[in-house]
A and B are shown apart, each in its own frame.
Chain A
Amino acid sequence: SQTIHQWPATLVQPVGSPLSLECTVEGTSNPNLYWYRQAAGRGLQLLFYSVGIGQISSEVPQNLSASRPQDRQFILSSKKLLLSDSGFYLCAWKQGHEQYFGPGTRLTVT
């Protein structure tokens, strides 16, 4: 069966520091992968999605970037975090019409 992992689970970072969040999927090959952010009291906002290695589509212009160095690995990065980057970051993969989510990373920028 397919599983999706995210780490770290929680992260506290100062403003201006870099960020790297990792997502890996097991049990499937060449999945579509997604990064979402949920701000406090808000819905899920699609940040990036990827249909294959090295292929990244950005949905929201901001100081975040994404990369897909391997088939089942998706990385969310920032060179300099802002306070507004705080939130709950979720990775997801697609099967059919549905998307399935990982456990998430709680990022607090101080």
Chain B
Amino acid sequence: DQQVKQNSPSLSVQEGRISILNCDYTNSMFDYFLWYKKYPAEGPTFLISISSIKDKNEDGRFTVFLNKSAKHLSLHIVPSQPGDSAVYFCAASVEYGNKLVFGAGTILRVKS
């Protein structure tokens, strides 16, 4: 069963504009949500996270929004840069981070 879903396989954005990556989940017991960025043939890099008791967390150009009633979270990147082009994975935590459940990923392409 896919507890974490990223329904958009890919997204193309112009440099300088906003990138919005979306993620839906089904398990209301998830206690933490994370976003990772991955380049080909490399391990994922942690970007930003949010506790289930918050609705927004911001770190520089990256902001994550959580809508618990809709079981939806999103990652906003503003402004988008060509170096942001990568695969972005949404992940949800159970047992306080002891287990992460990952979405299938969204390929972001930022065009210059």
Binding site for B on A (CB under 8 A): 32, 41-46, 49, 51, 59, 88, 90, 92, 94, 96-104, 106
CA A32 to CA B32, docked complex, whole Å: 17
Q: Name the residue of chain B whose CB is nearest to the CB of A92.
A: B43
**Number of B residues contacting the other chain (C-beta, 8 Å)?**
27
The number of residue pairs between A and B whose CB atoms lie closer than 8 Å in the complex comes to 58
CA A37 to CA B44, docked complex, whole Å: 12
B4, B43, B100, B102 pick with most chain A CB within 10 angstroms: B43
Within 8 A of A (CB), among B82-97: 89, 91, 93, 96-97
CA A44 to CA B100, docked complex, whole Å: 9
CA A73 to CA B95, docked complex, whole Å: 23
State whether B41 touches A49 (Cβ < 8 A). Answer: no
Q: Name the residue of chain A whose CB is nearest to the CB of B31.
A: A97
